[in-house]
Amino acid sequence: MTRVLLTGFEPFGGEDVNPFWEAVRAAAARAPGGLAVSTALLPCVFGSALDALREAVDRTEPDLVLCVGQAGGRPDVTVERIAVNIDDARIPDNAGAQPVDEPVVPGGPAAYFATLPVKACVAAVREAGLPASVSQTAGTFVCNHVFYGLMHLAATERPGLRGGFVHVPYAPGQVTDRALPSLPVSAAAEALCVIAVTAAGRTVDIRAEGGATH
């Protein structure tokens, strides 16, 4: 039985809800065979989000961690490839902090790669009939902050822990007055289940096109 921790964020950026916390909860409720799934809600706050993540990892002792965030404007589920050691906030976090050009971990490596089979996860989501792609950047806001913090925790304190970050688009109810892509929460939950099963079942990625020209 593989122990999986799924994390999501509270609402941020002026949104009243973060529907993909509901997707995280729905994915955990489905608990695909062979997985024992726990969840944790993280504050959208620099620093505090990493404290909450560490507490959740200590509490659940997972083999695999999938952190989930929302990337409004993206058209598909994006599995992140790399986390960078920089906080550069275009907007304040939920505590009003807006760090600029500050490291996530002072003295830490410039970047970490996810330890998920990123391209295999993308392929599996596509095979399930849902849109997905590899992402080369998790931004420089709290999502990247958490992604980098997770990988640093694994690299320095929990070498057996694997993990990564998944971004999902807006939910339909968030774009009723905006011409932006969206994905139903139920579809996002299904994609998260597929990614969790795929990541739990393999450590070696497939070789497939997934790059970007810019």
Residues annotated as catalytic (active site), given as ranges: 80, 143, 167
Map tokens 């596509």 to a residue.
Answer: 126
Interatomic CA distance for residues 95 and 88, integer angstroms: 15
Within 8 A by CB and 6+ apart from 153, the residues are 53, 54, 57, 161
For residue 73, the one-letter residue type is G
Q: Which of 205, 127, 115 is nearest to 161 (CA)?
A: 115
Interatomic CA distance for residues 110 and 125, integer angstroms: 30
